[in-house]
Chains A and B, each alone.
Chain A
Amino acid sequence: MDTFQDTVFKLKRYWADRGAIIQEPYDIEVGAGTMCPETFLRVLGPKPYRVAYVQPSRRPADGRYGENPNRLYKHQQLQVILKPSPDDVIDQYLGSLAAIGIDLNKHDIKFEEDNWEAPTLGAWGIGWQVMLDGQEISQFTYFQQCGGIDLDLVPAELTYGLERISAFLQGVESVYDMQWAPGVTYREVRFADELQSSVYNFEMADVDRLRRLFDEYEAECKRLLGLYDDKSPEKRRFPVLPAYEQVLKCSNLFNLLDARGAISVTERVGVIKRVRDLAVGTAKVWADQQGADTDQAPPVRVGESTSVGLSTSVGDSTQEPGPGHVA
C-alpha cells in the first residue's frame, strides 16, 4: 500500500517524465494551486510551459477543527499545467491514475461537466470533474481566459485532490487515519494545524487588523502597477511578480475575513472586484513583459507526439525554464 507521500512521488515522477518542471509549493498562502504564479501568470502569453507542483491550499471557511473526516482547512493539491494541452491529454491523465496504482479496468471513471470560474482572478475555463467510483478526485479544465486575457495557447489544468485520492487508495474513511509516511499518520503531521488554524480563523483573527492589512497590500499592489511603463526599455526589471504577491495576500485576507463572517453579502461583490482588478492589472503587465520576449521565443510546437514516455518537447523548448529568467 502506498503512503500519502508515495502517491505524491509517483505523480510527480509521472509528470516529470512527460516534460513537466517539478516546482515546489509557492511560499505564500493561496486558496488553490491555480493562484500560484506558476499557473496564473505562466498560462498567459505565447510560451509553451509544463509544470507540476503540490500546493497546500487554504480554505479558511472549510476548517472543521480537525473533527470532520473529509473537510480540511488546508488540503494538498497536485497542480499540473500543460500548455498547450496535448491532443491525448485525457489519456495522459488516465495514465497518471494507473501510475498510482488504480487499475482502470476495475474502476468506474466518468467525466462530468463542471466549468471552472474564479471571479477574483478574472479567469474561467471549460471542463469536468473527474469521478472515480462516484467520488470527485480531480478537476480538469481547459483554461479559456485568465486575468481577463483570452489565452492563445489553451492550457489543460489538472488538479488532483491528494487527500481524497490517497485515503481511497489506502481504504481509510478519515483522512486523518491515512499513512503519510510509513508509521506516521496524516493526523500526526497535520492535526494541530487544522485545529489551531480553525480556532484562529473562526474565533481569534482580528477583523479590524485583517481589514487594515488588506488595504495595505492592496495599496502596495496599486502603487507598483501605477509605476509600470510599457515603453521603458528596462521594463523587464519591473517587479510584476512581487506585485502579484500582494494580490495573493489580499485574496487570503479576503478568505479569512469571509470565514470570520466579517464580509456581508453586499460588501462581498465589491471586495471580490477589488481583488480582481489587482489580478487583472498584474496579468496585463506580465503579458506585456512577456510580449517583449516573444521574438526570442522558440516556435510553438503544438500537439507534437505526446504519447506516453516520449514527449518532452514543451519542457525542452522553453529556453528559460524555472524562475531564473524573471528574477
Chain B
Amino acid sequence: MSDFLLEIGTEEIPHWMIPSALAQLAKLDLLGATATVDATPRRLVVRATGVPDRTPDQEQIVKGPPISAGERAIAGFATKQQIDVSVLERVGDYYQVRKQTPGRPAVEVLAERLPDAILGIQWPKTMYWVGGKTGPRFIRPIRWIVALLGTDVIRFNLEKIRTTSYRPLVPSSNVTRGHRQLGSSSIPVTIANYESELRKNFVILSSVERRKKIETESAALGAKPDPDLLETLTFITEYPTAIRGDFDPSFLALPPEVLSTVLKHHQKTFSIESAPGVLAPHFVAIMNTAADPDGWVKLGSERVIKARFNDARFFFDVDQHKKLSDRVEDLKKVTFHAKLGSYLEKTNRVVAIVKELNGGPDAERAALLCKADLTTEMVKEFTDLQGIVGGLYAKHQGENEAVSKAIYEYYKPLSMEDSIPSTLDGQIVALADKLDTLRECFRVGMAPTGSKDPFGLRRAAQGVVKILAEAKLPLHVDSLFPPDLKEFMLERVQYYFRDIRGFKYDEVNAVLKVRIPTLNVVEERLQLVAKLRGTPDFESIVLSDKRINNILRQAEFRPEDGLAVNVALLEAGPERELWKGFANDLMFRPFEDIPRLRPLIDNFFDKVMVMVDDPMLKRRRLSLLYQIRKKFLTIADFSEIVTAGEK
C-alpha cells in the first residue's frame, strides 16, 4: 500500500470552474483507493492513501472443445491459446484451460491512466497552447505535473506532440512550484512534505483554510460578509491577505447600489457598513500576496475605486439631463432582437400585457418606463444595474413610490434563490416583461434547444412560475401561456414544485396530469395529495384508480361513450352500492370520501365483472368507472402515484 499525489500545475484557471473540475478528479480510479482533492488557481491536486502496489493477479478460464472433438480441434485450441495440450483440464464433457494474468505494478498502471484522466476533465471552454490542433486541450496551459506513488515518480508525458524536435510535453516529476512572486519556482517534494513545502513557499493548498483566512481577516477589518465574493476570492488566490482601503466620503451621496456594484463586481472587494444597510467610506481588498509593505496595493485599489466612482458620479449627473419619460421614445433605436424589433416595441407590448393582467395605473406607468434606463450612461457602464438604476432615477425624478419600486424590482427574481418583487405592481410588471419575452421568442421559433438558451428563456420562465406561485396570483394558466409555450411552461412548473419546493415527483406528476387553472390551485392540490398520502386508505385508492385507468384504456373507452348512469339498470349489490356511495354529492371531499369509497370499490372489483359480453352492460359499467375516475381527476391523476409495491 502506498500514498498517492498528483498535482496538475497550470496557469491561472478561472475561479468559477475549479469546483467542478475537482468533483471530476475526485472520481479518479486509483485502484480502489479513495481520492481527496483540493486546488488553488494554479494547481489541481489529488491525494490518496492505501493505493495497492500492484493490481491483483487475474485468472481466466477459457472453455475449449468438447472431449469428443477430434485431436486436430484440440491441438488447434491449444495452439491458439499458446499452451501445450498437456495442461488442458477436463471439466465435464469439455476441455478448458486456466490462464494466469499476473497483476501489474500500480505505478505502471497509473502512468498509463493519468494522462487521459487529466486531459479528460470537462471544462466549459478549452484552449490549445502547443502543437496546434493536434496538441492537448485544457482550460489553461499545463506547465508541470507532480505524480508520486510512495517514493516513486509515476513517469508519464501528457502527450508526444509532433514538433520537429519531438519534445515530450510536461513530463511528470517530483518538482512543484511555489507562489509566483514569493515562492521558489522549483521545489522537490515528497508526499509527506508536499503541503508544508508549499506553505513555506507561500501557497496555502487547502481551499478551506484560504476561505477561513479571508473570512477571519476581512471580518477583523470590518468587512460585510459576502459568500459569493468569498468563494471567488478563495479560488483566485494562493496566499490571500486582507487589507483595508478608504474612499472619499462624498461618494456616499451616490446610490449605494452603484457603490456596491463597483466594489464587489468590478474590484472584487468587500464593503464596510457603518450600520446595517449604510455604507461606510472604506473597503476590504484581498491580495494574493503576504503583505503590502509600502502601501502600493492600498494606493492602487483606492485609485481605481476613485476613478470608477468618479465615472459613476459623472454618469448620474449627465443622465439627469433627460428624464426617463423622455427616454422612452429613444428606445426605438435600441434593438431587442432582430426578429422582435426595438425596445420601444417591447415596451408597448409589456404595457399591453400589464393591462391584460389587470394591472393598475402604477403598474402601467412602471411598464412604460421600465426599459428607459437602457439609454442611460449608468446602465451602459454598469449593465448589471438595469432596472435598479431605472428605479432610482424614477424616484429621483419624482415618480411615485409604487412606480419607482416596481421599476426597481421588475428584473426579479434573478435566480431561484432570489426573492420576487415585493409589491403587486412590481410582480405584474415583472410577469409582463418575462411573458412577453417568452411569448415572442416562441412565436418566432426561438425556443431553447438542449443546453442552448441564448435568451435566458428558462430563467425567464422560472421567474414567471416563481412569481405566480409565491405571490399567489389568481391568473389562469391557459390565458397566460399560448399553446406553443404551454408544454415548456409546465416543465418549469414541474421543476419548481419538485426541485425547488421539494414535493415528491410522482405527486407533482399526478397533479399536473390534470388540467390546472392557476398555480395556486396546483399548490393546494399538491398539499392535499401529500396529506392524503399519509392516510390509511390512500394507497388502496391509488391501486383502484390504476386498475380503473387500465380497464378504461384496454376497453378503448372514450368519454363520449359514457352513459348517464341509470340507477334502475344497475345490478343490485356491489354495483348499485358503489354508485350510491359516491353519487350522493358532486363534490369530491377526499378525506371523507376515500375511506368511504374504498370498501365499495374493492367490493365492486371482487364481485362484479366489467368486461362482460353484453355490450350495453359493459358500457354501463365502464361509464360507472369513468364517473369515479372523473371524480378523482378533479384533484389529481392518482394513477401517477408510485405505490410501495411498485418501488
Q: A residues engaging B (CB < 8 A)? A: 68-70, 84-85, 87, 90-91, 94, 104-113, 115, 125-126, 128, 132-135, 142, 144, 150-154, 168, 173, 264-266, 269, 299-303
Partner of B132, one of A70, A125, A154: A154
The verdict on A269 contacting B338 (CB below 8 Å), with A69-B307, A109-B288, A134-B267 known, is yes
Q: Please tell me if B294 contacts chain A, counting CB pairs below 8 Å.
A: yes
The interface residues of chain B lying within 8 Å CB-to-CB of A85 are 129
> Contact at A173–B130, with CB atoms within 8 Å?
no
- B139 nearest in chain A by CB position: A126
- B233 nearest in chain A by CB position: A110
Task: Provide the bound-state CA to CA distance between A109 and B287, in Å.
Answer: 8
Partner of A168, one of B141, B164, B303: B303
Q: How far is the CB of B251 from chain A (nearest CB, A)?
A: 15
Task: Provide the bound-state CA to CA distance between A173 and B127, in Å.
Answer: 38
Q: Please tell me if B440 contacts chain A, counting CB pairs below 8 Å.
A: no
The interface residues of chain A lying within 8 Å CB-to-CB of B289 are 105, 107-109
> Contact at A107–B304, with CB atoms within 8 Å?
no
Chain B 306-339 near chain A by CB (<8 Å), digits 1 or 0: 1100100010000000000000000001110010
The interface residues of chain B lying within 8 Å CB-to-CB of A106 are 292-294, 296
> Contact at B128–A144, with CB atoms within 8 Å?
yes
Q: Name, among A68, A108, A109, the residue most crowded by chain B CB atoms within 10 Å (CB to CB).
A: A108
The interface residues of chain A lying within 8 Å CB-to-CB of B125 are 115, 126
> Contact at A142–B296, with CB atoms within 8 Å?
no
The verdict on A109 contacting B181 (CB below 8 Å), with A153-B132, A302-B130 known, is yes
The interface residues of chain A lying within 8 Å CB-to-CB of B423 are none
> Contact at A300–B128, with CB atoms within 8 Å?
no
Task: Provide the bound-state CA to CA distance between A144 and B165, in Å.
Answer: 23
> Contact at A142–B129, with CB atoms within 8 Å?
yes
Q: How far is the CB of A103 from chain B (nearest CB, A)?
A: 8
The verdict on A105 contacting B181 (CB below 8 Å), with A133-B299, A134-B285, A135-B300 known, is yes
- A130 nearest in chain B by CB position: B12
The verdict on A151 contacting B301 (CB below 8 Å), with A69-B307, A107-B296, A128-B12 known, is no
> Contact at A264–B181, with CB atoms within 8 Å?
no
The verdict on A300 contacting B333 (CB below 8 Å), with A133-B296, A134-B304, A266-B338 known, is no
> Contact at B181–A111, with CB atoms within 8 Å?
no
> Contact at A133–B129, with CB atoms within 8 Å?
no
Q: B residues engaging A (CB < 8 A)? A: 11-12, 14-15, 41, 125, 127-133, 140-141, 143, 163-165, 167, 180-182, 185, 236-237, 267, 269, 285, 287-289, 292-294, 296-297, 299-301, 303-307, 310, 314, 333-335, 338
Partner of B288, one of A70, A91, A108: A108
The interface residues of chain A lying within 8 Å CB-to-CB of B14 are 113
The interface residues of chain A lying within 8 Å CB-to-CB of B303 are 135, 168, 173
> Contact at B300–A132, with CB atoms within 8 Å?
yes
Task: Provide the bound-state CA to CA distance between A126 and B10, in Å.
Answer: 14
- B293 nearest in chain A by CB position: A106
The verdict on A142 contacting B141 (CB below 8 Å), with A106-B294, A134-B300 known, is yes
Task: Provide the bound-state CA to CA distance between A87 and B141, in Å.
Answer: 9
Q: How far is the CB of B631 from chain A (nearest CB, A)?
A: 56
Partner of A105, one of B167, B182, B338: B182
The interface residues of chain A lying within 8 Å CB-to-CB of B141 are 87, 142
Partner of A104, one of B12, B181, B310: B181
- B14 nearest in chain A by CB position: A113
Task: Provide the bound-state CA to CA distance between A110 and B179, in Å.
Answer: 12
Taking A91-B185, A151-B132, A154-B129 as known contacts, 14 extra A-B pairs with beta carbons closer than 8 A to each other, sorted by chain A number, are A90-B180, A108-B300, A109-B181, A113-B12, A126-B125, A134-B267, A134-B304, A142-B127, A144-B127, A144-B128, A154-B132, A264-B335, A265-B333, A302-B164
Task: Provide the bound-state CA to CA distance between A302 and B167, in Å.
Answer: 8
Task: Provide the bound-state CA to CA distance between A105 and B292, in Å.
Answer: 9
The verdict on A303 contacting B12 (CB below 8 Å), with A84-B130, A133-B296, A133-B300 known, is no
Q: How far is the CB of A93 from chain B (nearest CB, A)?
A: 11
The verdict on A126 contacting B140 (CB below 8 Å), with A135-B303, A269-B338 known, is yes
- B337 nearest in chain A by CB position: A266
**7 closest pairs, A vs B, by CB?**
A133-B300, A152-B132, A113-B14, A134-B301, A111-B12, A108-B287, A126-B127
Task: Provide the bound-state CA to CA distance between A87 and B14, in Å.
Answer: 19
The interface residues of chain B lying within 8 Å CB-to-CB of A150 are 132-133
The interface residues of chain A lying within 8 Å CB-to-CB of B164 are 299-302
The interface residues of chain B lying within 8 Å CB-to-CB of A68 are 314
> Contact at A112–B236, with CB atoms within 8 Å?
yes
Name 18 A/B residue pairs within 8 A (Cβ), A-sorted.
Answer: A90-B11, A91-B185, A106-B292, A108-B300, A110-B237, A110-B288, A115-B125, A125-B127, A133-B300, A168-B300, A168-B303, A264-B333, A299-B165, A301-B164, A301-B165, A302-B163, A302-B167, A303-B130
The interface residues of chain A lying within 8 Å CB-to-CB of B130 are 84, 154, 302-303
Task: Provide the bound-state CA to CA distance between A150 and B137, in Å.
Answer: 14
The interface residues of chain A lying within 8 Å CB-to-CB of B132 are 150-154
> Contact at B180–A94, with CB atoms within 8 Å?
yes
Task: Provide the bound-state CA to CA distance between A94 and B182, in Å.
Answer: 13
Q: Name, among B12, B185, B338, the residue most crowded by chain A CB atoms within 10 Å (CB to CB).
A: B12
Task: Provide the bound-state CA to CA distance between A109 and B182, in Å.
Answer: 11
The verdict on A154 contacting B128 (CB below 8 Å), with A69-B307, A132-B300, A269-B338 known, is yes
The interface residues of chain B lying within 8 Å CB-to-CB of A173 are 303, 306
Q: How far is the CB of A205 from chain B (nearest CB, A)?
A: 19
Q: Name, among B14, B129, B165, B310, the residue most crowded by chain A CB atoms within 10 Å (CB to CB).
A: B129
The interface residues of chain A lying within 8 Å CB-to-CB of B163 are 300, 302
Q: How far is the CB of A324 from chain B (nearest CB, A)?
A: 25
Q: Name, among A106, A110, A134, A300, the residue most crowded by chain B CB atoms within 10 Å (CB to CB).
A: A134
The interface residues of chain A lying within 8 Å CB-to-CB of B301 are 133-135
Task: Provide the bound-state CA to CA distance between A303 and B128, in Å.
Answer: 14
Q: How far is the CB of B139 from chain A (nearest CB, A)?
A: 8
The interface residues of chain B lying within 8 Å CB-to-CB of A168 are 300, 303
The interface residues of chain A lying within 8 Å CB-to-CB of B180 are 90, 94, 104, 109
Task: Provide the bound-state CA to CA distance between A84 and B128, in Å.
Answer: 12
Partner of B304, one of A104, A135, A142: A135
Q: How far is the CB of B49 from chain A (nearest CB, A)?
A: 33
- A299 nearest in chain B by CB position: B164
- A152 nearest in chain B by CB position: B132
The interface residues of chain B lying within 8 Å CB-to-CB of A108 are 285, 287-289, 292, 297, 300
Task: Provide the bound-state CA to CA distance between A125 and B125, in Å.
Answer: 11
Q: How far is the CB of A265 from chain B (nearest CB, A)?
A: 4
Q: How far is the CB of A50 from chain B (nearest CB, A)?
A: 16
Task: Provide the bound-state CA to CA distance between A115 and B140, in Å.
Answer: 11
> Contact at B181–A110, with CB atoms within 8 Å?
no
The interface residues of chain A lying within 8 Å CB-to-CB of B185 are 91
Task: Provide the bound-state CA to CA distance between A105 and B305, in Å.
Answer: 23
Q: How far is the CB of B16 from chain A (nearest CB, A)?
A: 8
